């Protein structure tokens, strides 16, 4: 598993360390410093993650909580599971074209 985020790698790693999740994550691809043009929905960070995993886009699943996450998954050719923090977000993710939407990481709608 690779985490791809518009947050900084440092912030993501601090969170993973705090919750003892680092052993479950192969790599972190954070916001490119000084290059906001390469942040999602640009495919740059997702392309990096696929390269680190050594898989084609069709072999991957992207889980995201924003419309830009759905957009980037469509651009690179991965399936997308939308994580809806609110009912409104669920609707937005479905309209954007998420392949599946969940409001709980243990179930899918």
- Give, in words, the CATH class of 2-102: alpha beta
Q: What is the pLDDT of residue 105?
A: 77
Rg of the chain over all Cα atoms, to the nearest angstrom: 14
Among 82, 62, 83, smallest CA distance to 72 is for: 62
The whole-number pLDDT of residue 107 equals 60
Domain locations in the chain as residue ranges: 2-102
Q: pTM of the full predicted structure?
A: 0.88
Instruction: Say if residues 99 and 81 touch (Cβ distance below 8 Å).
Output: yes
**Burial letters for 19-40: b for 16+ Cβ neighbours within 10 Å, e otherwise?**
eeeeeeeeebbbbbeeeeebbb
- pLDDT tier at 104 (50, 70, 90 boundaries)? confident
> 3-state DSSP call for residue 72?
helix
Q: What is the mean pLDDT of residues 28-43?
A: 92
Q: 49-103: per-residue pLDDT in tens?
A: 999 999 999 999 999 999 999 999 999 999 999 999 999 999 999 999 999 999 9
Please state the rounded mean pLDDT for residues 19-34: 94
């Amino acid at each position: 598993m690779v985490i791809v985020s518009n947050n900084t790698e440092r912030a993501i790693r601090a969170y993973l360390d705090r919750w003892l999740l680092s052993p479950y994550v192969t790599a972190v691809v954070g916001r490119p410093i000084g290059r906001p043009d390469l942040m999602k929905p640009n495919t740059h960070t997702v392309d990096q993650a696929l390269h680190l995993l050594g898989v084609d886009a069709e072999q991957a699943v992207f889980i995201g909580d924003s419309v830009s996450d759905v957009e980037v998954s469509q651009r690179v050719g991965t399936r997308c599971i939308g994580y809806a923090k609110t009912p409104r977000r669920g609707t937005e993710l479905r309209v954007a074209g998420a392949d599946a939407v969940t409001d709980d990481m243990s179930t899918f709608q």
